Structure 1
Amino acid sequence: MINYKQLFNMKIEEAYTKRIALHIAAGKCRKVDMEVEGYPNRKSVNKQLNNIVHDSMFTRSLTLFNHSSYNNIYPLSDLMLDRFCFQILTSIHHKIKWIDVEVSSMKRILSANYPILSGLGIYNIEKDTDLDIFTDETSLMYILKNQISSLMIESSRKQGRPRDVNTRIFTNILNTFINLQYFMFHSWFSSFQRISFRHLRPTVFSSTLLELRVKVSSVDDCLFLLDGRFNQLRAFYVDIGSSLPNSTVKINKEKLPNLRCFSLYCFSEIRFYDNIIIPLLHRMSNLEELALYLSSVVCDKKFIDGNNLKQNIIDYMPELNQFRFSIHSTILLKDQIDLPSNEDIKHSFKDFSNNKIISCVNYFFEAKYGQCHIYSCPYLIPTYENISNNFPGGLFRYVSDVSLFDEHPFEYEFFIQIAQSFPFLKNLTITNQKGQNNKQYRKSNNNNEDFLLIRYPHLKYLHFKQTHNDYIEQFLLDTKTCLPYDILLFTDFKSLQRVTHNFTRNATRINCSKMRYICFDRISRFPKHFKNYFLDTEIHVL
């Protein structure tokens, strides 16, 4: 009998290995291509090609596209593509088990015969015409429909496409690939790109699909996919965009006995935790692995704590052996007398002996709400939201997207902690209207030198939302912060103008010269030195 838990873990490991192979292969091929385009040493090039052909990691999983530092994907150059098709693929086509391709190059690459190919990744799907790939009976996809058991689709980031293109592609894939077992459909965060069945209720079923990873528009779409149409599904990973359910949504009570792994990711405000999420989980009595990542659950009276999770979830899943979660819950402050402390929340997890649980409770009396964040360790998701001065610290190697919020000032030491806790931080958003209490330089206890610069070596996006000028200055002063090259900066123009002394301040010039400033304000006339002060500027008038 097949052990589906082992099968699930094996596929995760294969996906990780495939990503390693991607970078190794890309590095080797770029090196070969540069030599060919320059003054080639034919003997050296042929030797490198021969090494690639005999590299088992390369031949097992092949990726044929380029990608930028912002994770944009581009097709290979015609020269490189020709070299692959005519000199490499002809020698290794019988060894390849997985291929990743950019959609515009797919026809040329897949025209060869791949007798053991079982996995395929297609990237930059974007147009209505791409539907033909999965519907035309003469297309390569139709020819491979019996052979492919694992499929990854990634849509393009481009805007302006018809709303239901991804939904129709998703549906056609499931109707075409009759032996599909593992399917991931990755769309970007735009609501137009997520799978939605609100206006289109397709007839789609699969008795072979074991694992599905998908981003959907709403919780209704999640319920639609779990209505029994995939009766052999063992693992379901779903990212929900909008949390507002249809007013006529019907809660299906039919059990999902084959489901062993379920992951729910929702970073919108949730008001259906008790009415929809809990009843949905009660249908999954045979779960072995559960992950809940919920960024804002609105509660009536009490935070979600250990008692809630045990009584409403864990007690209904006798087979559960792994429970990962990160849950923010909020309550409105209405002159309550006995508000739970962080110690109270910690105590509610006394029976969670197999997991290290961290909790953090904040009360924002100006905004009149309280927030409780509970999460299991290790913290595996890429986002950590609404960090306050009560941040418990730790090392978060998987987190790249962080937001900060408080009604009390963030001091210099707080940003040191953020930089140390999130070494791979790429996207930082700061919201704090309170100015810093101590802006003066502070001396080290060991010597007379100022504190070291705070470094954010991987930062790509910096957002200031309703932010005091002190925090903009904190990041722009080269005596306080060291920034990498080519950062996108988002902040209001007037604040930036004040901090940079009308774009003439030398102390902020170095960091600004590394930034691309994205301006959304309506400005009648820009100062003389404005555009030359930054690496680049983009003006978007809303």
Structure 2
Amino acid sequence: MNMSTFNNNDINIFDLSDELLLYIFKKLHTIELLYSLVNVNQRFDRLVLDPFYTHHLDLTVRPLRYYTSPVKTQIFDRIRTQVLPRIHQKLNKITVDPLSMECILGTIYYSELNSLSLVNFQSETLLQHLTAEISDSSSNIDNTKNLPKLKCLTLTSQWYTYFYNDLIFPLLLSIIRNVTTYIDGTQLHNDFLINMPRLNKFIFSIHTYIINDRIEIDLPSRNDILNSFLERGYQQVHSYADEKLTFNRGFCHVYSLPYHFNDFIFMTSGFQGGTFSKVRRLVMLDIRPFENELFQVIAQDFPFPQRLSITNLYSQQNKQHLSTSITFAHLFDFDLARANIDYVVQFLFDKNTSLPCLMHLTVRYETLATVTRGFTNDAAHLTCSKIRCLVVKEPFVRPEKFLSYFSSL
């Protein structure tokens, strides 16, 4: 594009009105617009970088298909270094393809971004991007200062972390003194809460998972853990903990009451009961079996769970099911892909468990075929007939009676 003249009558493009310039700009692709017109002059910058036009950044590379790779790289480098620093706080949506993604994402923080569109990705490439592990820790967090005026802190992790000592506790202002036992009230106070003298309310749910293959250790009991919080003035606390290691593993969960979180994760067979009316997602995981009595307690204590996941490969010891059916009235998403066949029987047989809202089921095909006896077993037919989304990760050939058994698919 020649920026000096508009046509043969020597009309200078800089003499055009804002309205006409904006009309012309709308005919250009985002990449052409940003690469060619930013930093031309202040007027062009004001028009091109107006938040009305830059809230959605489309960086798909249709205009670049005739350029060589070095030229494409040069274009994206210019956008990355000269444009993004000026608009990143205004962006609400970004559209990228495989080429632009590598150049644009990960280079700057988009504080207002709420939509990311990925275009023209191969499924394998897209899967790599969406499932890659985050390995770099934050480098710009000052985790060395006291926080005397802090009155509210929220710290949530949806899965176990192996970096409690290296990453999380430095952020909480100290270092764990004893990493071979459960986190208790004394440790939290001495290493963390003591630095927040104005903190007047502490709502928490803390899991400790110990893997110890080397030395014998004495684990604190549930009462020991509760007393450590009571001694520090925290009266409404509940806990359940393994007092002995099983397969060199030990687990403890301690949380404040009433329970304020939507998720209750890593429930083990040591669960002691309680009231959890706010919980909508329940994750159960253990290396010891979940017995029928535990599910009866859960059905009573968790009245509104919508999602349930069971990870337990160990068979139940007591296979005599309760005389009355257990009901999960609101459960619509159930993951049994990593569950022993006993739990599939427990929940899919309607005489054992009533699941009136269940629509989404994740399960292994071999287990499903066995439990349903090749999709002929009436005991599981009622529950399976309501499933609208069945997730089976391994490939399989649908038998003749499969579709009639899962009639809502």
TM-score of the superposed pair, with normalisation by structure 1:
0.50
Paired with 1:477 and 1:402, the residues of 2 have a C-alpha distance of 20
Q: Does 1:518 align with 2:391?
A: yes
Q: What RMSD over aligned residues (CA atoms) do the two structures have, in Å?
A: 3.9
Distance 1:494 1:244, change over 3 A: same
Q: Does 1:201 align with 2:130?
A: no
Structure with the greater alpha carbon radius of gyration = 2
Hey, what does 2:186 align to over in structure 1?
307
Distance 1:399 1:499, change over 3 A: same
Structure richer in strand, relative to its length: 1
CA deviation profile, 1:424-445 (whole Å, cap 9, x unmatched): 1111111222323333355xxx
Paired with 1:408 and 1:203, the residues of 2 have a C-alpha distance of 44
Q: Helix, strand or coil: the match of 2:265?
A: strand
Matches within 5 A, 1:268-287: 268-282=159-173
Distance 1:474 1:366, change over 3 A: same
Q: Helix, strand or coil: the match of 2:344?
A: helix
8 Å CA contact 1:326–1:376 kept in 2: the answer is yes
Q: Helix, strand or coil: the match of 2:260?
A: coil
8 Å CA contact 2:184–2:228 kept in 1: the answer is yes
Hey, what does 1:531 align to over in structure 2?
403
Q: Does 1:405 align with 2:307?
A: no
Q: Does 1:436 align with 2:316?
A: yes
Hey, what does 2:327 align to over in structure 1?
455
Paired positions, count: 309
Distance 1:173 1:526, change over 3 A: same
Q: Helix, strand or coil: the match of 2:242?
A: strand
Q: Note the C-alpha offset of 1:270.
A: 2.1
Q: Does 1:137 align with 2:54?
A: no
CA deviation profile, 1:28-64 (whole Å, cap 9, x unmatched): xxxxxxxxxxxxxxxxxxxxxxxxxxxxxxxxxxxxx
8 Å CA contact 2:299–2:327 kept in 1: the answer is yes
8 Å CA contact 1:326–1:373 kept in 2: the answer is yes
Letter of the structure 1 residue corresponding to residue 203 of structure 2: R
Instruction: Give 5+ residue unaligned stretches, structure 2.
Output: 1-29, 35-47, 56-82, 93-103, 115-131
Distance 1:170 1:278, change over 3 A: farther
Hey, what does 1:333 align to over in structure 2?
212
Hey, what does 1:503 align to over in structure 2?
375
Instruction: Give 5+ residue unaligned stretches, structure 1.
Output: 1-127, 143-167, 177-184, 186-196, 205-211, 215-240, 284-296, 443-449, 538-542
8 Å CA contact 2:89–2:110 kept in 1: the answer is no
Matches within 5 A, 1:143-542: 172=87, 174=89, 199-201=106-108, 244-246=135-137, 249=139, 252=142, 253=144, 260-282=151-173, 300-334=179-213, 335-362=215-242, 365=245, 367-442=247-322, 450-451=323-324, 453-516=325-388, 517-523=390-396, 525-537=397-409
Paired with 2:238 and 2:266, the residues of 1 have a C-alpha distance of 15
8 Å CA contact 2:242–2:250 kept in 1: the answer is yes
Paired with 1:362 and 1:169, the residues of 2 have a C-alpha distance of 52
8 Å CA contact 2:341–2:367 kept in 1: the answer is yes
Paired with 1:369 and 1:138, the residues of 2 have a C-alpha distance of 54
8 Å CA contact 2:240–2:252 kept in 1: the answer is yes
Q: Helix, strand or coil: the match of 1:473?
A: helix
Q: Note the C-alpha offset of 1:259.
A: 5.3
Q: Which has the higher contact order (CA 8 A, sep 6+)?
A: 2
Q: Helix, strand or coil: the match of 2:202?
A: strand
Q: Helix, strand or coil: the match of 1:414?
A: helix
Distance 1:346 1:441, change over 3 A: closer
Paired with 2:237 and 2:84, the residues of 1 have a C-alpha distance of 40
Q: Helix, strand or coil: the match of 2:225?
A: helix
Paired with 2:84 and 2:201, the residues of 1 have a C-alpha distance of 33
Q: Note the C-alpha offset of 1:281.
A: 3.2
Q: Note the C-alpha offset of 1:479.
A: 0.9
Distance 1:438 1:172, change over 3 A: same
Paired with 2:408 and 2:394, the residues of 1 have a C-alpha distance of 16
8 Å CA contact 2:327–2:353 kept in 1: the answer is yes
Letter of the structure 1 residue corresponding to residue 354 of structure 2: C
Paired with 1:527 and 1:137, the residues of 2 have a C-alpha distance of 59
